C-alpha cells in the first residue's frame, strides 16, 4: 500500500500504524522533504533515521516515529 498518495502529509498516528519498514518516498513525505533530499541524506550518512537495504533502501518506521515525536 502506497501511503504517499494520501491527502496531505501523514500524521504521527498514521506513521505509527505503518508497517515495520517503509519506502524512502513514504518517509520523505512524512518528513516534508523530497525523496531525492532524503536519498542524499541517506547516502551521506546524515539521515537522522535508520535504514536497511533489502534490494532497495527501506526506512525503519520506529526510527521515523522517534524522529517525528522528538525522541531523538
What integer pLDDT is reported at residue 9 of this predicted model? 86
Beta carbons within 10 angstroms of residue 64's beta carbon: 24
Higher pLDDT, 6 or 46: 46
Q: Using the 8-state DSSP alphabet, how is residue 68 labeled?
A: H
Find the mean pLDDT for residues 33-46. Answer: 97
Residue 34 CA to residue 37 CA, distance in Å, equals: 5
Is 7's pLDDT higher than 90?
Answer: no
Q: Which pLDDT band holds residue 21 (cuts at 50, 70, 90)? A: very high
Instruction: Look up the pTM and report it.
Output: 0.85
Residue 38 CA to residue 40 CA, distance in Å, equals: 5
> What is the dihedral sign for C-alpha 5, 7, 9, 13?
negative
- Nearest Cα to Cα of residue 1 among 13, 9, 21: 21
Amino acid at each position: 500500500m502506497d501511503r504517499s498518495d494520501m491527502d496531505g502529509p501523514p500524521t504521527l498516528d498514521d506513521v505509527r500504524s505503518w508497517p515495520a519498514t517503509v519506502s524512502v518516498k513514504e518517509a520523505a513525505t512524512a518528513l516534508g522533504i523530497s525523496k531525492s533530499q532524503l536519498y542524499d541524506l541517506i547516502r551521506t550518512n546524515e539521515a537522522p533515521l535508520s535504514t536497511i537495504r533489502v534490494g532497495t533502501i527501506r526506512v525503519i518506521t520506529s526510527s521515523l516515529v522517534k524522529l517525528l515525536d522528538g525522541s531523538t
